[in-house]
Amino acid sequence: ALDLIGGLIRRRFRDIKFNCQIAVNDADRGSRANIDNAETVASAVQLQVDLVTNAEADEIAKAILQNSLPGKSTQRRAPVWRQSGHLYNAALAAAAAAIMKSQPTQQPVRHEYDALRSRGAVVEIQGDEMTRIIWDLIKEKLILPFVDLDIHFFDLGIQNRDATNDQVTVDCAYAIMQHNVGIKRAAGVRVWPEQMWRSPNGTIRNILGGTVFREAIICRNVPRLVPGWSKSIVIGRHAFGDQYKATDFVVPGPGKLEIKWTPDVPDQAPIQHQVFHFTNPGVALAMYNTDASIKDFAHSSFRLALDKKWPLYLSTKNTILKKYDGRFKDIFQEVYQAEYKAAYEAAGIWYEHRLIDDMVAYAMKSEGGFVWACKNYDGDVQSDSIAQGFGSLGLMTSVLVCPDGKTIEAEAAHGTVTRHYRMHQRGEETSTNPIASIFAWTRGLAHRAKLDSNAALAHFCQTLERVCIETIEAGHMTKDLALCVKGSGVQRSDYLNTFEFMDKLAENLRAGLADSAKI
């Protein structure tokens, strides 16, 4: 199986091999947590190895080559590995085990910035496709050579979500609650209908609760599509309920759609409404939210705006959803009057509710410099709009702040960059922007530094963020940013490919840390 699958298998299990090797290296330093983590991963791999014979692995490997590699017949049937997912996973695991056994023991990792140690743990969350490639490069070139981390690893790639019936996503969320810091790359959603798991982001956010705050990463040489935005804009996206935890279904034919609330307390009367009487097929949806979650959303939004000394706006459509959106408006107003009004007035800032359509128009003509609290779906849409308005979807931070105020999950706001991954699989050159993923690491590690009062780690995060921005402003960038700067006339000499850009960032980071050490 190893000989047949070759490079495909090596890429698929690079992280498992990497984590196990790090554990071996850390043995000399006595990092027991890393050793235990790698032993758990290795045990899971062995369980999958036991499920498959060598003959089965060989058969699956041949099927993968016949159906997945370029240059084969275009008359392709459904790949065997889509029909027999457990055999595919087992074949991959068997090959991964062989790879790991064949690797010579490496020398312990030498951290170039030896004074830098993270006292607390972080939860690393792996995803899919091109972001896996980018993530590996970030760890290899920008994080692990400089920072000694205690990492708890969770693979939210589609194959592992299949193998665990998506339990890995739930376990990951509770691990973030335990360790207070999650750092996540983008994870995909299956494009064939064997099993459609819910979005891992939605699952994690509904367990953790809180608010996703997104803010553009501003580079002076990247032109803004909204030139009047001279200051940044922070989107606060309520990360609970609404469409992301809704129940929706296809209505097969004529009939009544009803909604009912049945109280747990016997002295309360149930509430029931007829929503619609279908005369032909259609679709239906029911969604919800809770007072407690809306209050947490309000507090986190008010606190962030107060910290930044910026005004806060809440947008809803309460003129249409008088009860649903009206509840958001009422709770925000109650919390503001009771706990934040005096502090806001002393700081010279304000809170205001606006209709979502009015708020969108205001944002476009404003200079920026405010926090915009959005319901879940509105925040999903408007955060991308704000990012593009500042120049690029690839230049945006995204941090989920939980109600306890000490737990966060930092992530890249974009997806898995499928088109670039397909190019990578074909052996073609890619120029994929890693900045949002790098900032996921820096924002997560900066929060770890804050919790641990670790000034050295905080300084490292600040330096890496500064290096990213200065590198772009010096003219070294990926193709997406070069298109923003130079338009459709961009030449190959105007940008770096994925690996060249990562090498340039690593070079500049070493120089930046060396300059800091001299100071």
Instruction: List pLDDT tens digits, range 316-367.
Output: 999 999 999 999 999 999 999 999 999 999 999 999 999 999 999 999 999 9
Mean pLDDT lowest for which of 99-108, 382-391, 415-424?
A: 99-108
Question: Mind listing the pLDDT tens digit for each residue in 476-513?
Answer: 998 889 998 888 888 989 999 988 999 999 999 999 99
Question: How far apart are the C-alpha atoms of 230 and 427, rounded to whole Å?
Answer: 41
> Within 10 A of 103 (CB to CB), how many other CB atoms are there?
12
The CATH H-level (homologous superfamily) assignment of domain 113-223+391-519 is: Isopropylmalate Dehydrogenase (3.40.718.10)
Structure tokens at 162: 């299949």
In percent, the amount of the chain with pLDDT more than 70 equals: 71
- When pLDDT is averaged across residues 403-430 and rounded to a whole number, the result is 73
pTM (predicted TM-score): 0.71
Strands 351-355 and 370-374: unpaired
Q: What tokens does 303 get?
A: 């606190």
The mean pLDDT value for 73-81 works out to: 34
Q: Which has the minimum average pLDDT: 76-90, 143-157, 440-454, 459-473?
A: 76-90
Task: Decide which of 156 and 298 is more confident.
Answer: 298
269 confidence band (pLDDT: 50, 70, 90):
very high
Bigger pLDDT: 424 or 104?
A: 424
What confidence score (pLDDT) does residue 60 get? Answer: 52
CA atoms within 13 A on the CB side of 114: 2
CA distance 51 to 134: 31
pLDDT of 247 strictly over 60: yes
Average pLDDT, the chain: 79
Residue 167 sits at the vertex; the CA angle it makes with 130 and 289, to the nearest 5 degrees, is: 95
CA–CA distance from 470 to each of 152, 460, 478, 517 (Å)?
31, 15, 14, 19
Q: By the 8 A CB rule, do 132 and 53 touch?
A: no
Q: Are 258 and 275 in contact (CB under 8 A)?
A: yes
> What whole-number distance in Å separates Cα of residue 283 and Cα of residue 248?
7
pLDDT at residue 382 is higher than 50: yes
Give SS3 for 62.
helix
What is the model's pLDDT at position 100? Answer: 43
pLDDT of residue 421: 57
Q: What are phi and psi of 269, to 5 degrees?
A: -85, 140
Instruction: Quick: pLDDT tens for 84-117.
Output: 344 445 445 555 444 444 443 333 344 444 447 7
Average pLDDT over residues 306-320: 96
Rounded Cα distance between 377 and 328, Å, is 14
Are 499 and 137 contacting, i.e. CB atoms less than 8 angstroms apart?
A: yes
Given pLDDT bands bounded at 50, 70 and 90, which one contains residue 514? confident
Give CA separation, 271 vs 246, 274, 318, 442, 493, in Å. Answer: 19, 11, 21, 48, 66
pLDDT at 39 over 70: no
The pLDDT value recorded for residue 205 is 83
Q: Would you state the pLDDT for residue 198? A: 72
Q: Give the rounded distance of the alpha carbon of 3 from its chain centre.
A: 34
Query: How deeply is 324 buried, as exposed, middle or buried, from its count of CB atoms within 10 A (0-12, 13-18, 19+)?
Result: middle
Separation of alpha carbons 254 and 332, rounded Å: 40
Q: How confident is the model at residue 466 (pLDDT cuts 50, 70, 90)?
A: very high
Low-confidence winner among 136-140, 376-380, 416-420 (lowest mean pLDDT): 416-420
* Alpha-carbon separation of residue 93 from 42, 166, 230, 326 (angstroms): 10, 18, 51, 52
Amino acid at 360: V
Question: What confidence category does residue 157 fall into, taking pLDDT thresholds of 50, 70 and 90?
Answer: confident
- What average pLDDT score do residues 181-210 get? 70
Each residue of 276-305: b (16+ CB within 10 Å) or e?
A: eebeeeeeeeeeebeeebbebbbbbbbbbb
Identify the DSSP state of 143.
Answer: I
Residue 187 near residue 157 (C-beta atoms within 8 A): yes
Report DSSP letters for 201-230, one per residue.
HHHHHHHH--EEEEEE---TTS--SSTT--
How sure is the predictor about 161, in pLDDT bands with cuts at 50, 70 and 90? confident
pLDDT tens-digit series, residues 270-298: 999 999 999 999 999 999 999 999 999 99
Q: What is the pLDDT of residues 117-138, one digit of tens each?
A: 777 899 998 765 556 678 888 9
* Assigned token pair, 29: 């330093």
Burial 154-192 (b: 16+ CB within 10 A, else e): bbbbbbbbbbeebebbeebbebbbebbbbbbbbbbeeee
How far is 204 from 209, CA to CA, in rounded Å? 8
Which range in 12-21, 36-45, 405-414, 425-434 is most confidently predicted, on average pLDDT?
A: 405-414
Say whether 488 sits in a helix, a strand or coil: helix
Mean pLDDT to the nearest integer, 461-473: 96
Core vs surface per residue 410-433: b (16+ CB within 10 A) or e: bbbbbbbbeebbebbbeeeebbbb
Domain boundaries, the chain: 1-109, 113-223+391-519, 225-235+298-389, 247-286
Banded model confidence at residue 165, pLDDT cuts 50, 70, 90: confident
pLDDT band at 383 (very low <50, low <70, confident <90, very high): very high
Residue 486's alpha-carbon distances to 96, 138, 273, in angstroms, are: 44, 27, 57
